[in-house]
């Protein structure tokens, strides 16, 4: 389980626009993610960071993994559509 201090640090990194550092933290967490809910949280946050860095292919990949686990996740569906639109690949939805 992720400690509260670690979760707060990642939130601070993301809030300050240090997306590259937050991505490294989220990626490290995926090595032993725990419950399905935690996996969805990690992937959603990592995808958000990729999107903010305009690395849409990786954001789309992470959002697709979230959707595979939780097909009705509105956040992932919406943000994946935005990333697809930005890449010109919206017809893949």
- pLDDT over 80 at 15, yes or no: no
What is the pLDDT, as a whole number, of residue 4? 45
Give domain limits for the chain.
4-92
Q: How confident is the model at residue 79 (pLDDT cuts 50, 70, 90)?
A: very high
DSSP conformation class of 20: H
Q: 4-92 is classed in which CATH architecture?
A: Alpha Horseshoe (1.25)
Which helix (DSSP H) or strand (DSSP E) does residue 91 occupy?
none
Q: How confident is the model at residue 18 (pLDDT cuts 50, 70, 90)?
A: confident
Which helix (DSSP H) or strand (DSSP E) does residue 75 occupy?
helix 74-87
Asked if 66 contacts 33 with a C-beta cutoff of 8 angstroms, the reply is no
pTM score = 0.82
């Amino acid at each position: 389980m992720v400690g509260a201090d670690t979760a707060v640090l990642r939130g601070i990194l993301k809030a300050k626009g240090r997306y590259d550092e937050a991505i490294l933290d989220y990626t490290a967490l995926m090595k032993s993610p725990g419950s399905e809910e935690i996996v969805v949280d990690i992937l959603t946050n990592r995808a958000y960071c990729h999107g903010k860095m305009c690395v849409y292919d990786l954001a789309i990949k992470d959002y697709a993994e979230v959707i595979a686990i939780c097909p009705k996740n509105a956040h992932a569906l919406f943000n994946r559509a935005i990333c697809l639109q930005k890449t010109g690949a919206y017809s893949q939805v």
